[in-house]
Amino acid sequence: MNRICKAQLLSLFIFTVATVLSTKLLAQIEQLLPMPQVIEWRQNQLRITLKDTSAALPVTYRQVASLPGVSHNAEEAYHIIIGEEGITVWYLSEKGAFYALQTLRQLAQREGNLLVFPYCTITDWPAFPIRGFMHDVGRSFIPADQLIEQLKRLSAYKINTFHWHLTEDIAWRLASDRFPALTAPENALRFPGQYYTKSEVQRILEVARVHHITVIPEIDMPGHSDAFRRTFGHDMQSPEGMIILKTLLEEAGTLFQGLPWIHLGTDEVRFGNPEFVPEMSAFIKQLGFEVISWNPGWDYREGEVALQQLWSYRGRQQGNTPVIDSKFHYINHYDPFADLISLYRSNVLGKPQSDSLVWGAILAVWNDRKLDTPEAILLENNFYPLLLTLAERLWRGGGSGYFDEIGVVYPEAGSQERVDWENFERRLLHHQATYFARQPFPYTQQSGYSWQLLPPMPNQGKTDSIFPLEKLLLAGQTQVLDTLEGTIATGASIYLRHVWGDLIPAYLPEPLPDHTAYAYTWIYSPDDREAGAWISFQDYSRSEKDLPPPQGKWDWRNSQIWVNGQIIDPPVWENTHRERSSEIPLKNENFQSRSPTLLKLRKGWNHVVLKLPVGSFTTEEVRLVKWMFTFALPGSEALFFSPTRKQP
């Protein structure tokens, strides 16, 4: 173990030095992510000459039977002491040693030809044993090299599970020697001919193994199986289909040998054969795997599956079967700001740490709507910012409530949670700049953004209605409106009503259709300047067929924005189609995928007004209406927001 770890550590430090040299940024001791459970910092530093790294790196590894002070999930725990005698790592398993290396990587700082470490003692362990992400490569496709890149990057943040959704109605992405027609171009409706060869699967599995990531392959059955039906002409639940499927499972079992689980789906399907699921579950167990299944799905007997993965708000833990939480973790519906805060604030199914039944969470990327490139999948789904947020919460544990309790609102002013969140945001931004400078990472600082939301007024379904207070707002006479009982909202994305409606609380306690709200703030600028703004009034989900806005409008609701009384025009929309289709990729509907809108700010105070009408919460053009807005100024942290024009 010592020899292996030293080799890994050498490779780790070479990567670290290259990163620091290229970015000119240092990983400060207060920037660790996820933050370890227990840290004791001491004065002084350990300084290592780089040229001696290969031979004289003062690291000692000690495998032990227990670690004092570790209260949870000890298999992944570690203990580090850095002092004048060097670096000592205690661990129970190779997983703990690996995670100690990830912490050391972030601690390393560069000074000339030295690597510098702070004197410290760290005792660390994860709150939850399953910390993962899911890619639906059946509907989309991510090449093997890019999946490997994601595995490597996320393992550095102690993400340890990759749920690989390999089969779908749209396409079957897992190579088969017995039935090569499954992956033939004519049997795929999207990205034809793109699938994972067996050698690619083996390479991905080996990278995952080295980086201590457990892969959960999913072969969805008996639903989401039109690709199977197109190929063979049989439903999976038919006698012929079951024979073929068992042959495929045997082949997959050989390929995935050594993994603990195979996920068999069972969601969103009408069961016509009551013997299908029990027989397939038993067959997978005969192959040497435990079974994971979605809930809601098949109604399993006690002990029939090892784990259930909860999806949608209807997911329920049953009996004594442990669960993975994916109920409100569909990041294809998330916006980059408010939902990220909600993810940070939320616990896991009401638990601050794992127990015998709640094992962790998986963030799922479901691209029902086509996205053209793997880069677009990462960008549109805000993939890396959200996964780093999940990494922090599931490693540290805690959370102030579940999603349906805390909603999508900013932590309360003056609370410890506000302090903790803004500390995390600072660390997130540090890692964005240091390790993700050339990766899709749509996030910018939103602490300090503050808005006054005025009470919504009935518009009788006429979203173009103009109300008398609009004139006062555009003239900057906001002090006249101080008597209105509005709401102070904080952050870069503000939901009046969330995409999941009453399930997720937002800033309006009882949002009603056919109303118009206004929001405003003042921005203090130290000089005359142009600022690029991320502006949006509808975050387009990656699972909807929603139509792009009409040209000349920000959305279908007649939302508007003014800066210093001047209306800000929307971009020219690249998509102009008027037929609903999942096969027309998103273009520049979401602000992540377009250039920021240029605003002219003058020295001193500038007023920003947003008009926020809504008609019905379900329309022909947009199925899941998000009554919301996003306004952020990336790269303009020196600006100051205040609805009341208090001096910065």
> Which CATH number does the domain housing residue 104 bear?
3.30.379.10
Is 497 part of any domain?
Answer: yes
Contact between residue 292 and residue 305 where contact means Cβ atoms under 8 Å apart: yes
Contact between residue 176 and residue 251 where contact means Cβ atoms under 8 Å apart: yes
Q: Is the pLDDT of residue 599 over 80?
A: yes
Coil/strand/helix, residue 560: strand
Give the per-residue pLDDT at 57.
60
Is 49 part of any domain?
Answer: yes
Q: How confident is the model at residue 56 (pLDDT cuts 50, 70, 90)?
A: very low
Is 428 part of any domain?
Answer: no
DSSP-derived letter for residue 549 is P
Q: What is the mean pLDDT of residues 524-547?
A: 96
Domain match, 277 and 357 both: yes
Q: Is the pLDDT of residue 618 over 70?
A: yes
Q: What is the mean pLDDT of residues 300-327?
A: 94
Domain match, 401 and 449 both: no
Domain match, 84 and 175 both: no
Domain match, 143 and 279 both: yes
Backbone angles phi, psi at 448, to 5 degrees: 100, -15
Give the per-residue pLDDT at 23.
33
Domain match, 188 and 111 both: no
Is 431 part of any domain?
Answer: no
Dihedral through CA 176, CA 143, CA 98, CA 31, nearest 10? -150
Domain match, 106 and 149 both: no
Give the per-residue pLDDT at 3.
39
Domain match, 410 and 495 both: no
Report the DSSP pairing between strands 457-458 and 515-525.
Answer: antiparallel
Window from 254-258, 381-385, 403-407, 477-481 with minimum mean pLDDT: 477-481
Give the per-residue pLDDT at 114.
85
Backbone angles phi, psi at 236, to 5 degrees: -60, -30
Domain match, 515 and 570 both: yes
Domain match, 23 and 71 both: yes
Q: How far apart are CA 541 and CA 539, in angstroms?
A: 6
Q: How far apart are CA 233 and CA 478, in angstroms?
A: 67
Is 647 part of any domain?
Answer: no
Beta strands in 222-319 (DSSP E): 261-265, 290-295, 307-311
Domain span holding position 468: 444-642
Domain match, 113 and 135 both: no
Domain match, 214 and 194 both: yes
Could you read off the pLDDT of 343-394 as tens digits, one per residue?
Answer: 999 999 999 999 999 999 999 999 999 999 999 999 999 999 999 999 999 9
Give the per-residue pLDDT at 327.
97
Could you read off the pLDDT of 395-434 as tens digits, one per residue?
Answer: 999 999 999 999 999 999 999 999 999 999 999 999 999 9
Q: Is the pLDDT of residue 557 over 50?
A: yes
Give the end of a domain, one of 405, 420, 435.
Answer: 420
Q: How many domains does the chain have?
A: 3
Give the per-residue pLDDT at 62.
95
Domain match, 70 and 167 both: no
Burial-class residue 272 by CB neighbours within 10 Å (0-12, 13-18, 19+).
exposed
Structure tokens at 625: 């209406």
Give the end of a domain, one of 124, 148, 179.
Answer: 124
Is 426 part of any domain?
Answer: no
Contact between residue 104 and residue 40 where contact means Cβ atoms under 8 Å apart: no
Is 425 part of any domain?
Answer: no
Q: What is the mean pLDDT of residues 577-590?
A: 97
CATH assignment at residue 250: 3.20.20.80
Is 24 part of any domain?
Answer: yes
Write down the residue that tokens 């004197």 correspond to. 119
Window from 41-55, 104-118, 160-174, 535-549 with minimum mean pLDDT: 41-55
Number of other CB atoms surrounding residue 68 within 10 Å: 8
What are 522's strand-pairing partners?
Answer: 607, 642
